[in-house]
Amino acid sequence: MRRIAANITGQFLALLVQFITAARADWRGVEPVNKQRIYFANHTSNADLPTIWTVPPPALRRVTRPVAAADYWLKTKARAFVGPEVFRAVLIDRRTDHQTEDPIEKIVAALDEGASIIIFPEGGRNRSDDPLMPFKAGLYNIAKARPDIDLVPTWINNISSVMPSGEVIPVPLGCTVIFGAPLHVEDTESKDAFLARASGELAALAPQNEEQPS
């Protein structure tokens, strides 16, 4: 019963996102095929997760699970339904003193079950004027744990204008989700070098002509 309700809610959310953003996937560096992947994306708005979840074909959406913050998604009953059941999010707690299990182990377990994952490696919403905040170590640790899985940089464009942080009503504006070419962590690569490279690949996907909001 809850499974059906979750499916219907998911369809409804996808329609709503389409209505507001006409969100479109630009598969620039990879094909939309069913292959296990770790999509890592920029994060500026609460609308990021629904948008990136909506754009792939339904067959891919069914095997893709976002990594999301437990402290956000378990706060209310509605969120606790949407996060874990509609998005089937892998919930991790950002507050170290609340962690009952190692977040990296939890994400790797989801990968081992065959799921693709979506992760926001900045560790929270970017409210600064820079295109990206420095990445947390999580992406490196996951990449080290499962080095064969493709890491796909995923740039979500324009969503911060649709719903700037602090606002609750989205404005209908077009959004594009750009999927770049996959990368892997090299054997000899240090954590910082890898995170800088991954961040650079992601930032390079951002359309150039767009003016940064001042």
Binds other proteins (CB under 8 A): choice among 32, 58, 134, 174: 174
Q: What is the residue type of 146?
A: R
Q: Which is nearer to other proteins, 86 or 156 (CB)?
A: 156
Q: Which of 96, 100, 188, 209 binds other proteins (CB under 8 A)?
A: 209
Which one of residues 32, 57, 124, 172 is an interface residue with other proteins (CB under 8 A)?
172
CB nearer to other proteins: pick between 165 and 190: 165
Hey, is 39 helix, strand or coil?
A: strand
Does 15 engage in binding with other proteins (CB under 8 A)? no
Q: Closer to other proteins at the Cβ: 15 or 193?
A: 15
CB of 199 to other proteins, least distance (A): 25
* 16 contacts other proteins (rule: CB under 8 A): no
DSSP assignment of 154-196 equals: EEEESHHHHS-TT--SPP----EEEE---B---TT--HHHHHH
- By CB under 8 A, name the one of 60, 164, 191, 197 that touches other proteins: 164
Q: Is 28 in the site for other proteins (CB under 8 A)?
A: no
Query: In three state form, how does the secondary structure of 40-74 look?
Result: EECCCCCCHHHHHHHCCCHHHHHCEEEEEEHHHHC
Q: Is 57 in the site for other proteins (CB under 8 A)?
A: no
Segment near other proteins (CB under 8 A); pick from 61-69, 70-78, 103-111, 160-168:
160-168
Residue from 16, 59, 171, 204 that binds other proteins (CB under 8 A)? 171
Q: Residue 129, interface with other proteins (CB under 8 A)?
A: no
Q: How far is the CB of 198 from other proteins (least distance, A)?
A: 27
Containing H/E element for 197? helix 191-203
Instruction: Give 94-106 as a DSSP string.
Output: SSGGG-SS-HHHH
**Distant-in-sequence, close-in-space partners of 178: CB < 8 Å, separation ≥ 6:** 26, 28, 154, 155, 157, 205, 207
State how far the Cα of 206 lies from the Cα of 68, in Å rounded to an integer: 23
In the complex, the smallest distance separating the C-beta of residue 56 from other proteins, rounded to whole angstroms, is 17
User: Element (H or E) spanning 16, and its range?
Assistant: helix 2-21
CA distances from 153 to 9, 81, 106, 111, 158 (A): 28, 28, 21, 17, 16
- Give the interface with other proteins as residue ranges (CB under 8 A): 22, 24, 158, 161, 164, 166-167, 169, 171-174, 209, 211, 213-214
